[in-house]
Amino acid sequence: MSEAKPHSEDLFVIPRKYGEYYLYAPLRRGLAVVNQATAATVAAYLKGGKASLSPPGQAIIDRLYDAELMGKSAPDPPVYPENCVFYPHEVTLFPTTRCNLRCRYCYADAGRSALDMPWEIGKAAIDLVATNAGRAGFRKFGLGFHGGGEPTVAWEFVTRCVTYAKAKADELGLETDLYAATNAVLSPEQREFIVDNFSTVNVSLDGPADIQDYNRPKVGGAGSYDDVSQSLKFFDKHQFFYGIRTTITALTVNRMSEIVEGFMSEFRPGYLHLEPAWFCGRCMITGEQPPEDNVFLENFMKAFEAGRRLGIDVHYSGARLDVLTSKFCAAPGDGFTVLPEGAVTSCFEVMDSCDPRAAIFHYGQYDPAKKTMSFDHERLAELRRLSVENLPFCRDCFCKWHCAGDCLAKVFARSGSAIHQGSARCGLNRAMTLEQLERLVRQEHAEQAQV
């Protein structure tokens, strides 16, 4: 075999246990378990190339080539082209900062203010993405609702946007993709409207009644579980697709399997996201604490197994072994989210113009004179450089094509700057990804044993 250039970015040597190592090639979807001698040979190869090895060492590298764990050229990484044009055909609106709940850990401290989006801002955003979709030849455009508050509290605005978007789609010969994040404390009329008009919703629900009512009380202090339960049962009755997003705190982490089992006994969600709480926002007042990483990991894997038994995918955003990407989310220049006052942000978590991170993530504003959105394209270019292939901190991390540098809002909150110095979740993300790799190895051994 001819000499080939090492591709260190495509192969990682990771300690396993009992003197064994993983060889992991994420872009090739390759994984092997090797002994210490083979791991040392690979490390030497990655440092000095094949010519630096003894004949036995070269033979080991040849076998790894045959197994396609490495090759003459690395697969193309999942990066966006440098000349990619910003031409959004979907938008997420934040209709209001008002909220009907007072969740103990709310990152936005929702309900602290009462700011609502004027109609002309929502209309301008819808016009822009609809027009872009038509000109680009897309079949549909997207309209979502999220917020630093509960979007359905601004119900008249939401329904007006939906009605207008559908009319605009008809006018342009397009379809709409409507979605929302909601706490699902809804009236019967709201539930029916959502089922009739939306593609999907992502519902925040933290567990059975005792957990939900403690974590996510209504403004007056009453529990919210019964309201959410009625909404989900209505969605199930009408076979409406939705997912559940659950925030895990130090008080609930040991009940994660119970939470999954309880959800599946009551509801029929399409997916479950279990995410550790982040110490910010209202946590500063309530003192609500995130779980310890090792405790979250242990209980997540139990919850994952419970989900497998019950036929539901259970996810954690920082460990996505099935995903290859250069961006954790749309924050590096792809997200088009409009805040109530008309500011444009690429990050759901950076809503306040007084937030120091607004200088990173806010890249536009509604222009009342022109009745359209204006963008800072230099800021957009800076955002796009935040994809993982450009982050020195992540260069040698085996998780980089999965977590893609993790949530940038959390990263920059930690660093206090626009320099990526790692996330507080890096340790958890690596440990969780390693656990997923180990699961693949055990599964392969079990299948071989059955042959």
Q: Give the DSSP per-residue string, 432-448.
A: HHHHHHHHHHHHHHHHH
Rg (CA), the chain: 24
Are residues 63 and 151 located together in one domain of the fold?
Answer: no
Q: Report the pLDDT value the prediction gives residue 426, as an integer from 0 to 100.
A: 96
11 within domain boundaries: yes
**Residue 111, pLDDT above cutoff 90:** no
Identify the band that residue 161 occupies on the pLDDT scale cut at 50, 70 and 90.
very high
Cα gap 362→339, rounded to integer Å:
10
202 and 106 in one domain? yes
Does the pLDDT at position 87 exceed 70? Answer: yes
Q: Which residue has the higher pLDDT, 231 or 49?
A: 231
Q: Do residues 118 and 246 share a domain?
A: yes
pLDDT, tens digit, 9 for 90 and up, residues 162-198: 999 999 999 999 999 999 999 999 999 999 999 999 9
pLDDT, tens digit, 9 for 90 and up, residues 373-420: 999 999 999 999 999 999 999 999 999 999 999 999 999 999 999 999
Q: Is it the case that residue 36 has pLDDT exceeding 90?
A: yes
Is residue 363 within a helix (H) or strand (E), and if so which, with residue range? strand 362-367
Q: What is the mean pLDDT of residues 300-310?
A: 97
Please, what is the average pLDDT of the chain?
Answer: 94
Round to whole Å and give the CA distance between 280 and 148.
13
What confidence category does residue 70 fall into, taking pLDDT thresholds of 50, 70 and 90?
Answer: confident
Specify the residue for token string 């094509």.
Answer: 401
Q: Are residues 271 and 232 in the same domain?
A: yes
Residue 439 has pLDDT above 70, yes or no: yes
The pLDDT score that the predictor gives to residue 2 is: 36
- The CA-atom distances, in angstroms, between 175 and each of 109, 141, 168, 193, 229 are 35, 7, 9, 18, 31
Q: Dihedral sign for Cα 112, 179, 351, 318, please.
A: positive
pLDDT at 46: 86
Phi then psi dihedrals of residue 223, to 5 deg:
-75, 160
Handedness of CA 431, 293, 305, 315 (dihedral sign): negative
Binned at pLDDT 50, 70 and 90, residue 451 comes out as low
Q: Helix, strand or coil for residue 28? A: helix
Question: Which of 280, 299, 315 is at the close of a domain?
Answer: 315
Vertex 95 angle, CA 92 and 101, to 5°:
110
Can you tell me the distance from the alpha carbon of 403 to that of 154, in angstroms, rounded to the nearest whole number? 34
Let me know if residue 182 belongs to a domain.
Answer: yes
Asked whether residue 71 falls in the same domain as residue 95, the answer is no
Residue 169: the pLDDT is 98
Q: Count structural domains, the chain.
A: 2
Give yes or no for residue 10 having a pLDDT over 70: yes
Antiparallel, parallel or unpaired: β 337-338 and 343-345: antiparallel
> Tell me: the pLDDT tens digits for 50-61?
889 999 999 999
Alpha carbon separation from 259 to 350, 416, 449 (Å, rounded): 29, 35, 33
Q: Are residues 49 and 103 in the same domain?
A: no
Cα gap 46→51, rounded to integer Å: 11
Q: At what angle do helices 119-136 and 155-172 cross, to 10 degrees?
A: 30
pLDDT score, position 243: 98
Residue 117 lies in a domain: yes
DSSP assigned state of 252? T
The pLDDT of residue 4 is above 70:
no
Inform me whether the pLDDT recorded for 437 exceeds 60.
yes
Residue 3 has pLDDT above 50, yes or no: no
Strands 337-338 and 90-93: parallel
Output the CA torsion 382→385→388→391 (10° steps): -80
Q: Is the pLDDT of residue 81 over 90?
A: no
User: CATH number for the domain including 208?
Assistant: 3.20.20.70
Mark whether 101 and 151 lie in a shared domain.
Answer: yes
Q: CA 409 to CA 406: how far, in whole Å?
A: 9
pLDDT in tens, 208-218: 999 999 999 99
- Assess whether 30 and 138 both reside in one domain: no
Res 63: pLDDT: 92
Domain shared by 139 and 22, yes or no: no
Pairing of strands 314-315, 337-338: unpaired
Residue located via tokens 């660093």: 415
Q: In the structure, how many helices (H) and strands (E) does the chain have? A: 15, 14
Does the pTM surpass 0.85? The reply is: yes
Q: Which domain covers residue 20, as residue numbers? A: 1-76
Is 301 among the domain residues? yes
SS3 46: helix
Quote the pLDDT of residue 5.
Answer: 44
Residue 172, pLDDT score:
97
Whether residue 249 contacts residue 277, with contact meaning beta carbons closer than 8 Å, is answered with: yes
> How far from chain centre, in Å, is Cα 89?
20
Q: What's the rounded mean pLDDT across residues 5-24?
A: 82
Kindly state whether residues 70 and 98 are assigned to the same domain: no
Residue 202 lies in a domain: yes
For residue 109, count CB atoms less than 10 angstroms from its CB and return exposed for 0-12, middle for 13-18, buried for 19 or more: buried
**Looking at the domain assignment, is residue 415 inside a domain?**
no
pLDDT at 17: 87
Q: For position 411, what pLDDT does the model report?
A: 96
Partners of residue 203 on adjacent β-strands:
182, 244
Q: Is the pLDDT of residue 321 over 90?
A: yes
54 falls within a domain: yes
Kindly state the average pLDDT of the residues 298-322.
97
Give the tokens for residue 87. Answer: 């031409």
